[in-house]
Structure 1
Amino acid sequence: MKTLRRNRQRGAALLAAMLTVALVATLATAGLWQQWRSVEVEAAERARAQASWILTGALDWARLILREDARSGGADHLAEPWAVPLEEARLSTFLAADRDAGTAGTDAENVFLSGDIVDLQSRLNINNLVEGGRISAPGAQAFQRLFELLGLPGNELETMVENLRQAADLATDTATSQQAPLMPQTTRQLGWIGLSPETVAALQPHVTVLPARTPVNLNTASAQVIYAAVPGITLAEAQQLVAARDASPFRTLADAAKVLEAREQGLGTGLAGVASRFFEIRGRLRLDQTVIEERSLVRRDGLNVRTLQRERAVLDATPMAAQELSR
């Protein structure tokens, strides 16, 4: 009996020791996890702050380029410095590093920056459809030509125009219906005014949403957009305009009129021009498996380049890297 009792006591002591070890291991693991989590949160916050600084610097740099371009005045075209995209490059190449110390082994060696500036007046402006609370006939005709060219449903255009008029009334507190839709701020929100996802996807390369009525820049627009914006011309004539401007950018509308010859009256509708005020600045920062993209809408009035909108998204770089390797 004594031997049995002693064995039981030893077993209980061993069980208590095992429970104590398990408890200590659990507490140690929890402590390590909390410490690891704190380090990861701090690292993510630091990376977020650094990315914000870098992308803000890139935005300021792009605004400076547009400001310097404004000093020369005249037309805006794709042969100007602002239109040259920044291919992906190491951040260290933009830094004035000490020649002796170098930048090897620093974070800048693992960070890549790219971006470009897009002329938003190379597209049809959704807000050209409404003027003074009424549907603009020239704007509606331009969008009708674009819808027909892209093979999009005409009934969706009618719905979009009417909903856009109601949204404009709502924005000015003159709406008579409580069901008036909200005014879209980006092309991704065109579904708010009655367009299907398929139609929105087809329109996105050709349209934009700007806070003011704008003409299409003949120096930067595609042949499809030029065809839609300039009444009375054919798609072939629009392509002829594109070929002519690529050889020599249009300095004035008169230069474009010389190419169109007898069709030049279509340029007098106010929907075409050769200069731009609204641009989209796109920046892309890649760090390891994380990609941060930022898009900014800027308005240039003389030498004043003002940021109107900024939006940022975080992406996973792994699928992008796999896609590059498969090419």
Structure 2
Amino acid sequence: MKHPARASLHQTGMALIVALLVVAMVAAMSLLFTSRQQLWMRQLENRNGFTTATMIAFAAIDMTRLTLRDDARNTKVDHLLEPWTIPIPPIAVEEGHIAGRLRELQGRFNLANLLPASDATLKEDDPGLLRASRALGVSTGDIAKLLQAFQDLRKQEPGSTPELAELLERAGLQSDSSQAALLQHAVILPETTPVNANFADAEALQASIAGLSSGDASAVIARRASKPFMNMDEFREALPAGLRATLKEDAITLQSRYFIVEIDAWFNQVHLGYEAQLRRDGTNMPEVLWSRRSSFADS
């Protein structure tokens, strides 16, 4: 028979252990709840930050569209000295900041200019293709393969406006030199377009103008360095005399229609980038052809 005092002491000890276990369980549950609540709050903040940063980015794209519309209303010539060509450093907004830049696209050679009028396959002895191949330093086969991928895509998705990098992947072009040259000097646009002489590099000019040598193209660019071409007569005067009369009217322009806007937006801990391709028709509000998250952005 147990002693009453010992039994009481045993019961008290058991009760104390149970109480400690209950306290430990409550503390663990409280810690778990607090941890989950903090995680939920962080997720909510990130989600709200992402939404706000996205809204800021699209607002910036719309502001860029307004800038391009007003630019077309005020001037008929686009050149490197215009204010919109200067990248915008980070500007503070409520609880964040935003930066961006606007890139003109018609300073590059538009590969769509090489496509036949019909859906016929581009011949590798086509004069325009041969000229572009020499100017860009890319084989005629690689360019033809890229354009075939473009034609195939347009058949599958009529009206689509793919980026050049996407077409390079579709075409399976493995040559690093070809990829680098095309991404630097060329572009693919939804329609044929002239090259803007105020933005074009020597390669784009050579690809666009029959008979223009590398040296002559460099001389044209040097001439515009201090003063952009303000009319086509000024541009013709910069060409070798023998090419002035043969210059095709649809090969060169001084006003651009196609642009890429790149936006970086930060809000709290969220950073994301957006880019959009814009097409400007006269003095109307430029159209957004596509927009997407930038691959370099973090979130």
For the residue of structure 1 that corresponds to 2:78, the secondary structure is: coil
Matched, 1:143 2:125: no
Matched, 1:62 2:40: no
Flag the 1:166–1:117 CA change in 2: closer, same or farther, 3 A: closer
For the residue of structure 1 that corresponds to 2:277, the secondary structure is: strand
Please give the alpha-carbon distance, in whole angstroms, between the structure 1 residues aligned to 2:20 and 2:53: 48
Verify the 8 A CA contact 1:299 1:308 in the aligned structure 2: yes
Residue identity (%): 28
Verify the 8 A CA contact 2:132 2:207 in the aligned structure 1: yes
Task: Give the TM-score, by structure 1 length.
Answer: 0.75
Please give the alpha-carbon distance, in whole angstroms, between the structure 1 residues aligned to 2:57 and 2:151: 33
1:226 to 188, 205, 213: 205
For the residue of structure 1 that corresponds to 2:274, the secondary structure is: strand
- The residue that corresponds to 2:119 in the other structure is 133
Q: 1:243-282, aligned counterparts within 5 Å? A: 243-260=222-239, 261-264=241-244, 267-268=247-248, 270-282=250-262
- The residue that corresponds to 1:295 in the other structure is 275
For the residue of structure 2 that corresponds to 1:311, the secondary structure is: strand
Please identify which structure carries the higher helix content: 1
RMSD between aligned alpha carbons? 2.9
Q: 1:96-111, aligned counterparts within 5 Å? A: 108=94, 110-111=95-96
C-alpha deviation, 1:245, in angstroms? 1.7
Please give the alpha-carbon distance, in whole angstroms, between the structure 2 residues aligned to 1:267 and 1:10: 105
For the residue of structure 2 that corresponds to 1:203, the secondary structure is: helix
Q: 1:178-189, aligned counterparts within 5 Å? A: 185-189=162-166
Length, aligned pairs only? 285
Verify the 8 A CA contact 1:160 1:195 in the aligned structure 2: no
Deviates more, 1:66-75 or 1:281-290: 281-290
Matched, 1:306 2:283: no
C-alpha deviation, 1:4, in angstroms? 7.7
Flag the 1:201–1:7 CA change in 2: closer, same or farther, 3 A: farther
Flag the 1:267–1:191 CA change in 2: closer, same or farther, 3 A: farther
Q: 1:83-98, aligned counterparts within 5 Å? A: 83-91=85-93
Flag the 1:7–1:280 CA change in 2: closer, same or farther, 3 A: same
C-alpha deviation, 1:196, in angstroms? 1.8
C-alpha deviation, 1:139, in angstroms? 4.4
Gaps of 5+ in 2: none
Verify the 8 A CA contact 1:90 1:113 in the aligned structure 2: yes
- The residue that corresponds to 1:103 in the other structure is none
C-alpha deviation, 1:42, in angstroms? 2.2
Gaps of 5+ in 1: 92-107, 174-182, 318-327
Flag the 1:208–1:52 CA change in 2: closer, same or farther, 3 A: same
C-alpha deviation, 1:296, in angstroms? 0.9
For CA contacts below 8 A with separation 6 or more, give which structure has more relative contact order.
Answer: 2
Please give the alpha-carbon distance, in whole angstroms, between the structure 1 residues aligned to 2:74 and 2:270: 39
- The residue that corresponds to 1:25 in the other structure is 27
Verify the 8 A CA contact 1:121 1:214 in the aligned structure 2: yes
Verify the 8 A CA contact 1:130 1:165 in the aligned structure 2: no
C-alpha deviation, 1:265, in angstroms? 5.5
- The residue that corresponds to 1:40 in the other structure is 42
- The residue that corresponds to 2:104 in the other structure is 119
Task: Give the TM-score, by structure 2 length.
Answer: 0.82
Please give the alpha-carbon distance, in whole angstroms, between the structure 2 residues aligned to 1:8 and 1:124: 92
